[in-house]
Chains A and B, each alone.
Chain A
Amino acid sequence: MDLRTRLGKEWLFCDGGTGTILQEKGLKGGELPETWNLTRPEDIKAVARAYFDAGCNIVNTNTFGANSFKYDNVTEVVTAAVRLCQEARHEAGRDDDAYVAIDIGPTGKLLAPMGDLPFNDAVKVFSEVIRAGAEAGGDLVLIETMSDSYEAKAAVIAAHETCDLPVIVTTVYDESGKLLTGGSVEGTVAMLEGLKVNAIGVNCGFGPDKMIPIVKRLAACCSLPIVVNPNAGLPRTEGNRTVFDVGPEEFSSIMKEIASLGVHVMGGCCGTTPAHMAALIKEVSPLPFKEPVRKHGTYVTSFSECVEIGPKPVIIGERINPTGKKRFKQALRDNDVDYILTEGLKQEEAGAHILDVNVGLPEIDEPSMMENIVFKLQSVTTLPLQLDTTNIEALERGMRIYNGKPMINSVNGKREVIEAVMPLVAKYGGVLVGLPLDEDGIPATSDGRIAVAKKIYEAADEYGIPRDDIVIDGLAMTISSDSTSAIATLDTVRRIRDEYNGHSILGVSNISFGLPARELINSHFLTMAMQNGLSCAIINPCNDHMMASYRAYCALMNKDPQCLGFIGAYSEYKSDGTFGGASSGASGAAAASGTGGAKLSLAEAIERGVTGRAAEAMEESIAQGCEPLEIINAELIPALDKVGQGFEKGTVFLPQLLMSADAAKAAFEVVKKAMAGKPRQVKGKVILATVKGDIHDIGKNIVKVMLENYGYDVIDLGKDVPPETIVEAAIKDDVKVVGLSALMTTTVVSMEETIKLLRVKKPDTKVVVGGAVMTQEYADQIGADAYSKDAMQTVRYCDEVFGV
C-alpha cells in the first residue's frame, strides 16, 4: 500500500541507529560508513534485515552522508544502498508492508550567508543523491538530523524537484527547543508545512525523556503526522568507544509515554538497536492511535523568528520601496545595498515585526535585485520578510532562497494572476496577501470586495494552500477623492474577520493621499482598522504617530501585558509631543549619536565621531545654500584627514578613527540624499574583495567606509570571492585599483591566484593587499603592487594611483 495513505492513519515505525551498529562491526573513527555499501554489502544488508525483522515499517538506506562533498561516486554508493535495503526487505518477507527510505543527512557544510555553501548548490547536491535513490526504487525520502531549517528547505526542494516520493523531515533541537541556527519548533513546522512535506518530526539530539517538552510543542502546532526518533540517551565515551546508556526496556517505556502525546511515527537514532525497536513496537502498537488534527495558526517565519498573525496586530514596515523616493531609486540604480539594508534595520529598531521588500524599478534587473536583497537582509536581520512584487520571476527567485516562510504581496482575483502566483505559494509555502480586485476593477463596496475575496479563498483551496495562509487586503484608498472609501475598507476588514474567520491587511497610509497632515489621518485610521479586526498594518514604523496608535491600541485591548511595551516606549514621553527614544536611529548609530553634540560644527562632529550631529550640521549647511561639494572639500575631508593623521602617528586609536568615519558617512548620506538623481563626482573606482576561501571581512568593510568617505566609488564584491569574479569586475568597469584582503596563510594562496589572473587578463590594474598575516615582504612575494597595513594607508595609496 502507498505510504501516503498509511501515514497518519495507523502506527508506523522507523528503524534505529545505523552508524553506532557499524562501529560495533568495526567501522573506524574517520571511515565513511557509506563505503561499506560497496566493500561490505552483507554487513549493511544485515543491519537493515534486523530492523525489518524487528517489525520496522520504514528502514533507512545507508546514505546519511552520501553526498558529492564526500564521494566521487554518489550514484553508485546510493544505488547499492537502496538495493541492499530492498533485498533485506524481501528476505525478511516484508515487501508488502515496509518501505525503503532514502536517507538524507546534512551536507556537513553551512549554508550562506552563515557559511559558504550557496543555497542552490545545496539543492543540487541533495538532488544528485535523491535522484539516484529514487531511480533505484526508494519508496520515500527521509531527511533527518537537520539542525538548520535552511538546509532542510534545500533538501525538500531537491526531493520535490527530482521525484514525487513522500518526504519526511526530522530536525534536531537543543534543550531549549531551538535549532542550532536559532529556529523554533513552531517556525520550523510552519516552513515545512508550507513546503508540503508529508510528516514532520524530531530525531537524534538527546534521549527520549528530554524530547517530551519538544514533542508537546510539535503536537500543539503541527497539522501533519509527527515522527519521533530519539537517541538511546546522550552519547558518552568510554576509552575510545562511544556508548549509550538507555536500554531497550527503558527506551520503550518512555516512548510509550511519548506515543500518547499525539505522535504517529516512532523509531530511534544513535545508539538504538533492533532490540530497542522490537521493544518499542511491542509497547506502542497496541495503544490507541489518534489521527493528526488540523491546527489553525498563521505563521510568517525567518530562520529564527516566528511571527503569528492573529493574536495581535502585526506591523509590517513599508520603507523598503522605491515608490515616490528619489534616494531609494538612486540606491537601486547604484546597487547601493547598504542603504537598503539600513532602511530595513531602522524599521526593525522602530518596532516592525515584518519587513515589506519592494525593489522594483523598470530600469533594473528586478529578479536579481530581489534575490540579492532578500539574501542580504536575511544576513543582517532576523525579521521575516514580505516579498512585494508583480514580477513573477522576481517572486520565485526571492521565495526560493528565502530562509523560512515568507509573506507574499500579492495575488488578486484575476485568473491570470492567480495562475501565476498560487503555484509558487503551493510549492515554496508562504502567507499570501489577496487583493480583492479582479478583471472588473476595484469594487467600491465591501460587498463587492468580499465577493472577490471569496474567489481568492476558493482558488487557494484549488491549489492546496490552506485558507489560514491567506490574508485579505481591505484596499485603503484615499478619502480625498471618495469620502466613503474608508468606510468600505473598514467594512471589508471587519467582514473578513466575522464572515471568514480570516486575516486582513492594509497599506494604511494610502487612505490620506492628497491631504495635509497625513500622519494624523493615518494614525487614527490605523486605530479604527485595528478596532475592526485588522491583522496586519503596512506602515512606516519610524513614524511616531503610527507607532503611538499601535502601542496605545495594544495597551487598551489587553494585548500588551502589564502595559510593559507601552511603558518601555514612552517612559521619556514629554507632553509637548516629543516622543522620547522609542523610535530613533539605526543600530550602533544610535549609540554614537548621543552626547553633547548640539553645537559642534561639522568638522568638530567628525573629529569627535558624533554621528547624529555630523548629519545635522551637513543638513544645516545645505539648507543655508552651501554647495555640498564645497562643504566636503573644505570641512569634511580636512577633519577626516586630521583624525587619519592622528591614527597614523599612533595618537588616535582604531575605535576613534571608525567613529569619525561613521560620522563622515552619515554626513555623506545627507549629501547623497540631496543630490539623488544628479550625476556624482567621484575620484575613481576601486574594487574591494575578501578572497576566495576567506570569510573574515570586517577589515575590508572598514577600508570600504574610509574609501567612500574620501570620495571613491567602491565596488564591494564581498567575501569568499573567486579570482574570476574579481577579474571580470575589473574588466567590466575598467577599474584601476583592486584591494584584496585575506586573514590566514591558507587563504593568501587565493590572493596570489587572483593577482596572477589579473596580471594576465587586466595587466594595467594595480593590486593593494592587506589582512592579518600580510606583511610587505609577503605582499612582494605574491606579486602585489602595494601592501597596506590599515585603512588609511589604502586611502593614501589610492590617492597616489589616481593622482589626487
Chain B
Amino acid sequence: MPLGVKIPEKEVRRYMGLRGPVDISPDTDAMIKKAINALEKDCSPKHVSRAFPVTVEGNEVRFADVVIESRSLARNLAGCTQCVLFAATAGPFCDMLVKRASVTSSAYASCCQAAGAAAIEAYCDLINDKIKDEYEAKGLFARPRFSPGYGDLPLENQKDWFRLLDITRNTGIELTGSLLMVPTKSVTAIIGLSPDRLPCVRQGCESCTMSAACTFSRKE
C-alpha cells in the first residue's frame, strides 16, 4: 500500500541539513528523488485516533483518565472542549530501507532517513487535515497538533497515548522501554478542538522551546 501523499522535496532537503537553495550535485539530487519515490511507493502507513472531552485549568490538562501538568500543552489547548489523540506511522519499510542503504551508501542512507522524516510528517498532515475538516463541520476548530516530548510535555506521557489508543495493536508501533517508538518514523500527537476559531497559531518549530538549539529548525 503506498504512502498516499506526496513527500515534499523541500522538506527532505531541510532534514538533510541543506539550507536554502544550495546547489548540490546531480547525483545527490537523483538520490533524493530515488528515496522519495521508494518511500511513496512502498510505505504502508497506519494510524489510529480517538476523541475525548478535555478540560484545561491553569497548567493542568485532563482528558480520559489522564491528568497532565504542562505549561506548553495547556497553552496549546486553551479554550478547547474536545481533543483528538492520534498515532501514525509510515510503517517498517523506511527503517529497513535506511538500514539497507547504510550497508552500501551512507549518502543514500541519509537521503532515505530524511525522506522518511518528511514522509511521516506529510502523512500526519493528511490525517490532521481530515480531523480538522471533520470537526469544523461540527463547529469545532482545530489547534496545531502537539506531541509528547515537545515543549515541557514529558515523553513519559507516550504511555497514556499507547494505552488509550491501543496503538501497538492498531498500528504496529511499539513503545520501547526508553520511550522511543518503533518503527522510528512514527508520531503521537494531540489536536485540541475549540468552539472558538483562533487566528492562525504558528505551528511546529516556531512554537517549540528547543527551536534555537535545533539544527533542523525552520529558520532563515
A interface, CB within 8 angstroms of B = 28-30, 106, 108-110, 113-116, 145, 147-148, 174, 176, 178, 180-182, 237, 240, 338, 341-342, 345, 379-382, 586-589, 591-592, 594-595, 608-611, 653-656, 658-659, 661-662, 665, 692-696, 698, 701-702, 705, 743-747, 750, 775
Min distance, Cβ A22 to any Cβ of chain B, angstroms = 14
Q: Which A residues are CB-close (under 8 A) to B107?
A: 588, 592, 609, 655, 658-659, 661-662
How far apart sit A208 and B27, CA to CA, in the bound complex (Å)? 50
B25 engages A701 (CB within 8 Å): no
> Which of B22, B32, B96 is within 8 Å of A379, CB to CB?
B96
B16 engages A696 (CB within 8 Å): no
Given contacts A116-B182, A695-B182, is CB(A595)–CB(B105) below 8 Å? no
> Which of A345, A658, A747 is within 8 Å of B100, CB to CB?
A345
B24 engages A653 (CB within 8 Å): yes
Min distance, Cβ B167 to any Cβ of chain A, angstroms = 10
Residue of A109, A653, A702, A750 contacting most chain B CB atoms (<10 Å): A653
Given contacts A659-B25, A698-B113, is CB(A591)–CB(B103) below 8 Å? no
8 contacts between A and B (CB under 8 A): A108-B168, A109-B174, A586-B105, A588-B101, A589-B105, A653-B17, A695-B176, A698-B98
How far apart sit A694 and B155, CA to CA, in the bound complex (Å)? 14
How far apart sit A608 and B25, CA to CA, in the bound complex (Å)? 8
Query: What 14 new A-B contacts, CB under 8 Å, besides A382-B96, A591-B108?
Result: A29-B65, A116-B177, A148-B172, A338-B103, A587-B108, A588-B31, A588-B105, A591-B27, A592-B31, A656-B28, A658-B107, A696-B180, A746-B155, A775-B213
B138: Cβ under 8 A from any A Cβ: no
How far apart sit A747 and B178, CA to CA, in the bound complex (Å)? 6
B136: Cβ under 8 A from any A Cβ: no
Which of B44-52, B122-130, B195-203 touches A? B44-52
Q: Which A residues are CB-close (under 8 A) to B22?
A: 653
A588 engages B109 (CB within 8 Å): yes
Min distance, Cβ B138 to any Cβ of chain A, angstroms = 15
How far apart sit A696 and B177, CA to CA, in the bound complex (Å)? 14
Q: Which A residues are CB-close (under 8 A) to B178?
A: 692-694, 744, 746-747, 750
B217: Cβ under 8 A from any A Cβ: no
Q: Which A residues are CB-close (under 8 A) to B62?
A: none
Min distance, Cβ A234 to any Cβ of chain B, angstroms = 11
Min distance, Cβ A688 to any Cβ of chain B, angstroms = 13
B27 engages A701 (CB within 8 Å): no
B64: Cβ under 8 A from any A Cβ: yes
How far apart sit A292 and B115, CA to CA, in the bound complex (Å)? 47
Q: Which A residues are CB-close (under 8 A) to B111?
A: 655
Q: Which B residues are CB-close (under 8 A) to A381?
A: 100
How far apart sit A595 and B31, CA to CA, in the bound complex (Å)? 13
How far apart sit A115 and B25, CA to CA, in the bound complex (Å)? 35
Min distance, Cβ B217 to any Cβ of chain A, angstroms = 12
B27 engages A609 (CB within 8 Å): yes
Q: Which A residues are CB-close (under 8 A) to B96?
A: 114, 379-380, 382
How far apart sit A655 and B177, CA to CA, in the bound complex (Å)? 33
A746 engages B26 (CB within 8 Å): no
Given contacts A145-B169, A698-B98, is CB(A108)–CB(B174) below 8 Å? yes
Residue of B93, B100, B178, B180 contacting most chain A CB atoms (<10 Å): B178
Residues of chain B at interface, number, CB under 8 A = 58
Given contacts A609-B107, A656-B28, A662-B105, is CB(A180)–CB(B18) below 8 Å? no
A653 engages B27 (CB within 8 Å): no
A182 engages B44 (CB within 8 Å): yes
B interface, CB within 8 angstroms of A = 1, 16-18, 22, 24-28, 30-32, 34, 44, 46, 50-52, 64-65, 92-93, 95-96, 98-111, 113, 149, 155, 163-164, 168-169, 171-172, 174, 176-180, 182-184, 213
Q: Which B residues are CB-close (under 8 A) to A747?
A: 178, 180
How far apart sit A692 and B177, CA to CA, in the bound complex (Å)? 10
Q: Which A residues are CB-close (under 8 A) to B176?
A: 115-116, 693, 695
Min distance, Cβ B90 to any Cβ of chain A, angstroms = 13
Min distance, Cβ A639 to any Cβ of chain B, angstroms = 15
Min distance, Cβ A787 to any Cβ of chain B, angstroms = 14
Given contacts A659-B25, A694-B178, is CB(A654)–CB(B105) below 8 Å? no
How far apart sit A661 and B106, CA to CA, in the bound complex (Å)? 8
B164 engages A658 (CB within 8 Å): no
Q: Which B residues are CB-close (under 8 A) to A586?
A: 104-105
Q: Which A residues are CB-close (under 8 A) to B102?
A: 698, 701
Min distance, Cβ B54 to any Cβ of chain A, angstroms = 12
Min distance, Cβ B68 to any Cβ of chain A, angstroms = 15
How far apart sit A30 and B32, CA to CA, in the bound complex (Å)? 43
Nearest B residue to A338 via CB reads B103
Nearest A residue to B50 via CB reads A237
Nearest B residue to A30 via CB reads B163
Q: Which B residues are CB-close (under 8 A) to A28?
A: 65
How far apart sit A587 and B179, CA to CA, in the bound complex (Å)? 32
Q: Which A residues are CB-close (under 8 A) to B106?
A: 658, 661-662, 665, 701-702, 705
Min distance, Cβ A109 to any Cβ of chain B, angstroms = 6
Nearest A residue to B109 via CB reads A698
Q: Which B residues are CB-close (under 8 A) to A744?
A: 149, 155, 178-180
Given contacts A116-B176, A182-B44, A747-B178, is CB(A659)–CB(B104) below 8 Å? no
Residue of B155, B163, B168 contacting most chain A CB atoms (<10 Å): B168
Nearest A residue to B110 via CB reads A658
How far apart sit A661 and B96, CA to CA, in the bound complex (Å)? 21
Nearest B residue to A180 via CB reads B172
How far apart sit A108 and B172, CA to CA, in the bound complex (Å)? 9
How far apart sit A770 and B103, CA to CA, in the bound complex (Å)? 21
A115 engages B174 (CB within 8 Å): yes
Q: Which A residues are CB-close (under 8 A) to B98?
A: 698
Given contacts A595-B27, A696-B184, A747-B178, is CB(A342)–CB(B110) below 8 Å? no
Nearest A residue to B172 via CB reads A180
How far apart sit A381 and B101, CA to CA, in the bound complex (Å)? 11
Nearest B residue to A585 via CB reads B104
A743 engages B180 (CB within 8 Å): yes
Min distance, Cβ A171 to any Cβ of chain B, angstroms = 13
How far apart sit A382 and B99, CA to CA, in the bound complex (Å)? 12
> Which of B155, B174, B179 is within 8 Å of A110, CB to CB?
B174
B92 engages A114 (CB within 8 Å): yes
How far apart sit A505 and B13, CA to CA, in the bound complex (Å)? 48
How far apart sit A113 and B98, CA to CA, in the bound complex (Å)? 13
- Complex A-B, nearest 6 residue pairs according to Cβ-Cβ distance, in ascending order: A588-B108, A693-B178, A588-B105, A658-B107, A180-B172, A380-B100
